[in-house]
Structure 1
Amino acid sequence: MPKVILVIMDGTGYDAAVTQCGYLEGAVELGRARRWKMQTATPSLSGPMYETMHTGLWPHEHGITSNESMRASERPNVFSLSRAAGKVTAAVAQEYYHRLYVDRPWDRLRSIEHHDTDTDIQHARFYSMEGYGAINAVAPAEIDLCAQVTLLAERHAPDYLLLHSCSADTLGHTYGGDSAQYRYQVWMIDNALSRAIPTWLELGYEVMVTADHGMNAERHHGGMEPIMREVPFYYFGAASGPDAGELLSQLGLAATILNRLGVAPASEMRPAFL
């Protein structure tokens, strides 16, 4: 069975990706990847969407309905089901993922590097972005995040490996989703992926690239506007998938990842699309 790397470009809406991500769009144009439009669940907020993407459930169902209600996941998810099936899991992600899928207290001086085969995320490099704002975005360099993913892939050979980048979301909240700063940061993620994805493919991974939500010009998301709910889904892999014009549901992502890993999805998860 293939191994999967999922890249979440936090805060990157569909139109921003299609207009700014020259590497990803070039791969689509050459037939080396496929791209669909995906609609998120709501409220289109980061914490609820992280759990939705990994459980296949609407926030009203899994219970995390705001960033302020973050807690450990209580439902079957991609990490827990993969680990139960004997797969290895890993992540390079912001600390919300530690709260969700690592059953250990967060230690700000030690938890950024994590190795514990008894937790649902078994190997990880976490970051906090503590105190980010207009003066300092506190965002890790995109190529450094990609490097950490590559090192985890080479050292631990995880079957499921998550890369979560917060920088576009941060710049969107600071300057707005119609700003030069936001668009440039979306491109910066694409630029780093252009150097990393070929290596990940050589290591035997399928690569999926998507976002948790978009960003409007008022520096906001969480509601029902299409710019908040429409995100891209890029796929580098062997599965055929639906027609290019079909609108995908974000709720099908969890089952899709598990299908590609050869792990049975939970019965409560929405249907896979690959």
Structure 2
Amino acid sequence: MKKLIMILIDGLGNHVSDKLGYLKALEEDGKAVKFTLMSELPSLSRPLYETILTGKTPIQSGIVNNKISRLSKEESIFSLLKEKGMTTAAVAYHWIHELYNGPFDMMRDIEVQDLNKNINYGRFYWDDVYPDSHLFSLANKLIMDKNPNFLLLHTMNIDDVGHKFGGLSKEYENKTYELGFYLSYFIPQWRDKGYEIIVTSDHGMNENGNHGGYSKLEREVPLWILRDNYKYCENTRFKQTDIKKLCCDILEID
């Protein structure tokens, strides 16, 4: 049975994607292929989590700003896999819990283990500065202990630094370089465990530390597919709404 990890790097604009040298090395070695997408609108986090995980635009889903805190009304990757009897996991910001598992209680829901929920195994955080290094370690522990069919790893540090210093700042660039180490350390281990991997972002970041609008800095994001014998070539055209279907194709489910 196929297994997949989605690494969702919050706030990573395509204009700094070349700083992730390990992913570039995989491209040059023929072990990954990279695409450039335009995020849906508005280019905000919660609406775009829903787009990535359900295939619906914000206008279609009704999640059109970050203040809408409710369960998703759409079929998500998580709910679909639950119906198929496959196991799901997430190490993610608490908005993911609110969208797919329900209201979040920081005293109770920091850890989730419940096969009746859409996200069976979860580790959730609510502070944007919670270290990416810890998130990768938590994800690795879930992979070793639970071996889920699908795991979402969602990082926030690049987005946080972008808001503080701007999307063209050295701080934003340096935080991207830092993330590259964790990718190079953990991805080979996860590939050895039989996981196929995609890496993408929800939105970018403009020079003033904002996103939500129409500009290229705010909307242009990368998508890497790391998999054996992938059928997608550089000429394939992806939209952000295609990512759910991409996950289903990789997992070989309808």
Normalising by structure 1, what TM-score?
A: 0.90
Matched, 1:229 2:229: no
Alpha-carbon deviation of 1:243? 3.0
Instruction: Give the corresponding residue for 1:24.
Output: 23
Q: What amino acid does structure 2 have at the position aligned with 1:3?
A: K
Q: Give the drift of 1:17.
A: 1.0
* Number of the residue aligned with 2:119: 121
Question: Please, which moves more after superposition, 82-91 or 22-31?
Answer: 22-31
What is the alpha-carbon distance in structure 1 between the residues aligned to residue 71 and residue 100 of structure 2?
A: 6
Deviation at 1:246, TM superposition (A): 4.2
Q: Deviations over 1:2-51 (max 9, x none)?
A: 20000011000111112x11111111112121111112111110000000
From 135, 147, 153, give the equivalent of 1:157. 147
Query: Which residue pairs with 1:52 in the alignment?
Result: 51
In the alignment, what sits opposite 1:72? 71
- Give unpaired runs (5+ residues) of structure 1: 130-137, 265-274
Distance 1:73 1:252 in 2: 18
Question: Is the 2:2–2:250 Cα contact (8 Å) retained in structure 1?
Answer: yes
Partner of 1:112: 110
| Residue 83 in structure 1 maps to residue 82 in structure 2 | yes
Amino acid at match of 2:38: Q
1:200-237 deviation per Cα after TM superposition (whole angstroms, max 9, x unaligned):
10111001000000001011111111111111111110
Q: Is the 8 A contact 1:142 1:188 kept in 2?
A: no
8 Å contact from structure 1 (residues 33, 237) kept in 2: yes
Name the SS for the 1:68 alignment partner: coil
Q: Is the aligned partner of 1:144 residue 2:134?
A: yes
- SS for the counterpart of 2:67 is helix
SS of 1:73's equivalent? coil
Letter in 1 for 2:50: E
Distance 1:33 1:224 in 2: 29
Conserved 8 A contact 1:81-1:263: no
Whole-angstrom CA distance in 2 between matches of 1:77 and 1:40: 18
SS at match of 2:198: strand
Question: Residue 202 of structure 1: which of 192, 213, 237 is its match?
Answer: 192
Q: After TM superposition, give the deviation of residue 240 of structure 1 in Å.
A: 2.8
Q: Match for residue 174 of structure 2?
A: 184
Residues 226-268 of structure 1 deviation map (CA, whole Å, 9 limit, x = unaligned): 111111111110253433144420100001101211221xxxx
Distance 1:2 1:239 in 2: 13
Amino acid of the structure 1 residue aligned with 2:188: P
Residue in structure 2 matched with residue 135 of structure 1 by the alignment:
none
Gaps of 5+ in 2: none
Bigger shift: residues 243-252 or 42-51? 243-252
| Contact 1:8/1:210 (<8 A) preserved | yes
Alpha-carbon distance in structure 2 between the residues aligned to 1:187 and 1:142:
12
What code does the residue aligned with 1:120 have?
A: N
* Residue 232 (structure 2) aligns with: 242
Amino acid at match of 2:184: S
SS for the counterpart of 1:79 is helix
SS of alignment partner, residue 126 of structure 1: strand
CA distance in 1, matches of 2:227, 2:160: 30
Q: Is the 8 A contact 1:82 1:258 kept in 2?
A: no
Q: Give identity over the alignment, percent.
A: 35
